[in-house]
Amino acid sequence: MKKAKAQRRAKLPLDDPRWWNWGRAIAHVRQLRLNHAIADQELATAINGRHVPCKMEWLDPRADPPKRGVILLEDSFFAAYRIEPGWGKLLAVALRPDVRLPRDHVLYAWGPEIERIWPPAAPPSEQRAGEGACRRSRTQEMIRGIAADEWPDGYERVETDEIRKRVGEVLKGNGLPVPSRATFQRALGRRKG
């Protein structure tokens, strides 16, 4: 009994690279489900059911200098907010008029738990033979991952050229070539083939 209580009290590390912003979490589930509405609803239901641990970060502008705030989303949060899909992203909808989220907050989901619930699809190299297919897939995955980091609330309404410009800067900064516009369109699901 004591061991079970200790495990429930154990907190996830708040500063850990395995936290995914919600944009990345949505992109992961959408890649597996293909139907965005179903994927978004599945993720929202899992978060509301506390199956996926989440955290929120924000800057407190009242402090001088501004101070970073971070909390795990626990029962008290879900008593005041419900997570719903909308506008191509997940929204925290207030259930009471007296609650308000911090300004400029960012919400994260625990990546290992998302991958446990929605295991990644088999890499294209296992699905198709050929060196080009494997490389193209890694490039497209990298484009989607960087775009999800650049636009945590979703990049669905961002122009392809703007995404190519910002993601291209990150790629160049890491010594990688910038793929063609067509590769970006395929990576973002805006072009077949």
Which sequence spans correspond to the domains of the chain?
Answer: 14-117, 124-187
Place of tokens 């369109």: 185
Q: Which amino acid is at 173?
A: G
Cβ atoms 23, 154 nearer than 8 A: yes
The per-residue pLDDT of the chain, averaged, comes to: 83
Task: Please report, for residues 154, 155, 185, the alpha-carbon distance to residue 159 in angstroms, rounded to integers and kept in the order given.
Answer: 12, 8, 10
pLDDT, tens digit, 9 for 90 and up, residues 110-131: 999 999 999 987 655 444 444 4
Q: Which residues have C-beta within 8 Å of that of residue 71, sequence separation ≥ 6?
A: 55, 56, 77
Q: d(Cα 20, Cα 87) in Å, to the nearest integer?
A: 19
Residue 37 belongs to what H/E stretch? helix 36-48
pLDDT for res 80: 95
DSSP string for residues in 83-103: EEEETTEEEEEESSTT--PPT
Model confidence pTM above 0.75: no
CA dihedral 51, 53, 54, 55 (to 10 degrees): 160
Residue 132 scores a pLDDT above 80:
no
Confidence class for position 25, pLDDT limits 50, 70, 90: very high
pLDDT, tens digit, 9 for 90 and up, residues 31-81: 888 788 888 999 999 999 999 999 999 988 888 888 899 999 999 999 999
Tokens coding 57: 């970060």
Could you tell me the sign of the dihedral formed by the alpha carbons of 7, 9, 15, 20, in that order?
positive
Q: Which of residues 9 and 156 earns the better pLDDT score? A: 156
Burial class (CB in 10 A: 0-12, 13-18, 19+), 77: middle
Tokens coding 111: 């990546």
Confidence class for position 5, pLDDT limits 50, 70, 90: very low
